[in-house]
């Protein structure tokens, strides 16, 4: 005698179609059900109705407990995780809509092509291959609307170095190990070309700034926070422990680094003594006042968010043109930042004058004298 079939709750067509349309809603509209808890299921059901209409399937409106049960089935089979989806439902890592994916791919393409990030390039190529043949609403769906054009001045991609036979002895060859160390809080020994020293550090973050990639890190024994240009570290990264200190300690140190970056100017985080005093709130800041003239005035005025501590004051107006004769730029910075602030001033050359402090004024005066001597010397 034949064994009767073991039917399940989705054996009938209506239940089966309801479950498949629910899955389609979560796949086609990642984040559906975001917002108020009371409206979460209603939003999911509305998306199911939209898809059903497109497929010419007659789908009844179901009670909330029925769809909650269906969601439970998807959790049981691992299609949904067992987490609470407070910001909308999504399947696996499919968290983005087509629009959001386009924005993410734009950023990834920029980082791959112009910041020379080898891993970003590999990821972008892999995603592009997976999306081949995918139908989108418009051919322009992945047109690079946004682009970051800053480019590194040195080789950063090991594959490109090999292709061009331009090997460079830099830490870019050890990126995978560095990133693992960052995420696990593992200390590494690295070698700094310029200082000719081996350094024991906790790597914290890879940061792209201006024309180069930098490694934000913490000295293993002293806790001194530092930045290193990646191309100034050798192709060497030796793990100093098998178990890391964990992500919480990493985040705490990284937060301290970014606080120093926020209050300072540029990437130099100070000597150990300076940094300790600054983090303890004992370091006196320099009160800087700089005056800009002529064509630099609009450039300074339009940069409202150049630094969170800056203050701008427009000087007296020209009687003929009605335009300001100068703009005073005031800012409070730690002493460690004066050299990098001075380098920024150099780009404005004859259209800027330091009023305070004396140390910065003398630094700029000496630079101006050297520049004049350089032009007077024919060599």
| Number of domains observed in the structure of the chain | 3
* Whether residue 185 is found in the same domain as residue 270: yes
Candidates 192, 185, 183, 184; CA nearest to 237 is 192
Residue 186, in any domain of the structure: yes
C-beta pairs of 69-74 under 8 Å, 24+ apart in sequence: 70/18, 70/19, 70/22, 71/22, 73/10, 73/19, 74/22, 74/23, 74/26
Of 32, 58, 76, the domain-final residue: 76
Q: What whole-number distance in Å separates Cα of residue 72 and Cα of residue 200?
A: 49
- Note the pLDDT of residue 103: 79
* Whether residue 312 is found in the same domain as residue 226: no
- For residue 40, give the H/E element and its range: helix 40-54
* Whether residue 255 is found in the same domain as residue 200: yes
Pair 293, 348: CB distance under 8 Å: no
CB environment 90-107: b (16+ within 10 A), e (fewer): beeeeeeeeeebbeebbe
Of 45, 61, 76, the domain-final residue: 76
* Whether residue 275 is found in the same domain as residue 195: yes
* Whether residue 234 is found in the same domain as residue 328: no
* Whether residue 316 is found in the same domain as residue 275: no
Q: Which two tokens stand for residue 14?
A: 């209506």
Pair 287, 274: CB distance under 8 Å: no
Q: What whole-number distance in Å separates Cα of residue 150 and Cα of residue 29?
A: 34
* Whether residue 297 is found in the same domain as residue 342: yes
Give the number of C-alpha atoms closer than 13 A to the C-alpha of residue 361, restricted to the C-beta side. 12
Q: What whole-number distance in Å separates Cα of residue 331 and Cα of residue 289?
A: 7
Residue 251, in any domain of the structure: yes
- Note the pLDDT of residue 139: 61
- Predicted confidence (pLDDT) per residue in 52-100, tens digit: 999 999 999 999 899 989 988 888 888 888 877 778 888 877 777 777 8
Residue 226 maps to which CATH number?
Answer: 2.30.30.100
Residue 86, in any domain of the structure: no
Residue 92, in any domain of the structure: no
* Whether residue 292 is found in the same domain as residue 232: no
Q: What whole-number distance in Å separates Cα of residue 42 and Cα of residue 324?
A: 59
Residue 213, in any domain of the structure: yes
Contacts of 330 (CB under 8 A, 6+ apart): 287, 288, 289, 290, 310, 311, 312, 313
* Whether residue 180 is found in the same domain as residue 247: yes
* Whether residue 272 is found in the same domain as residue 301: no
Residue 346, in any domain of the structure: yes
Residues of the chain with pLDDT below 50 are none
* Whether residue 200 is found in the same domain as residue 293: no
- Burial class from Cβ neighbours inside 10 Å (0-12, 13-18, 19+) for residue 66 reads middle
CB environment 313-331: b (16+ within 10 A), e (fewer): eeeeeeeeeeebebbbbeb
* Whether residue 217 is found in the same domain as residue 310: no
Residue 358, in any domain of the structure: yes
Residue 103, in any domain of the structure: no
Residue 348 maps to which CATH number?
Answer: 3.30.70
Domain that holds residue 254: 175-279
Candidates 102, 21, 105; CA nearest to 57 is 21
- Note the pLDDT of residue 349: 86
Q: What whole-number distance in Å separates Cα of residue 161 and Cα of residue 121?
A: 14
Of 279, 300, 317, the domain-final residue: 279
Q: How far is CA 285 from CA 42, 185, 205, 264, 344, in A?
A: 56, 32, 27, 10, 18
């Amino acid at each position: 005698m034949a064994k009767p079939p073991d039917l399940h709750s989705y054996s009938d067509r209506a239940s089966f179609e309801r479950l498949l349309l629910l899955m389609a809603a979560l796949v086609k509209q990642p984040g559906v059900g975001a917002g108020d808890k009371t409206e979460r299921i209603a939003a999911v059901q509305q998306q199911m109705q939209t898809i059903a209409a497109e497929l010419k399937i007659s789908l009844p409106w179901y009670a909330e407990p029925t769809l909650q049960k269906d969601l439970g089935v998807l959790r049981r089979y691992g299609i949904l995780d067992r987490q609470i989806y407070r910001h909308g439902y999504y399947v696996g890592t499919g968290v983005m809509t087509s629009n959001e994916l386009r924005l993410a791919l734009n950023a990834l393409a920029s980082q791959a092509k112009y910041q020379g990030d080898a891993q970003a390039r590999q990821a972008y190529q892999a995603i592009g291959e997976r999306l081949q043949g995918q139908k989108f609403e418009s051919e322009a769906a992945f047109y690079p609307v946004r682009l970051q054009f800053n480019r590194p001045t040195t080789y950063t991609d090991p594959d490109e170095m090999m292709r061009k036979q331009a090997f460079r002895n830099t830490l870019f060859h050890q990126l995978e190990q560095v990133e693992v160390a960052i995420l696990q809080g593992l200390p590494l020994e690295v070698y700094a070309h310029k200082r000719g020293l081996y350094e024991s550090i906790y790597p914290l973050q890879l940061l792209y700034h201006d024309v180069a990639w930098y490694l934000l890190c913490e000295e293993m024994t002293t806790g001194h926070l530092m930045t290193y240009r990646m191309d100034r570290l050798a192709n060497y990264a030796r793990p100093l422990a098998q178990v890391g200190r964990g992500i919480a300690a990493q985040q705490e140190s990284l937060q301290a680094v970014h606080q120093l970056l926020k209050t300072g100017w540029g990437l130099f985080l100070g000597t150990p003594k300076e940094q300790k005093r600054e983090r303890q709130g004992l370091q006196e800041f320099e009160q800087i006042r700089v005056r800009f003239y002529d064509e630099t005035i609009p450039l300074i005025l339009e940069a409202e968010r150049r630094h969170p501590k800056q203050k701008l004051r427009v000087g007296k107006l020209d009687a003929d043109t009605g335009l300001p004769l100068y703009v005073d730029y005031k800012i409070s910075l730690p002493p460690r930042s004066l050299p990098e602030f001075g380098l920024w001033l150099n780009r404005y050359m004859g259209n800027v004058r330091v009023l305070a402090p004396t140390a910065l004024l003398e630094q700029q005066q000496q630079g101006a004298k050297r520049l004049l001597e350089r032009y007077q010397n024919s060599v």
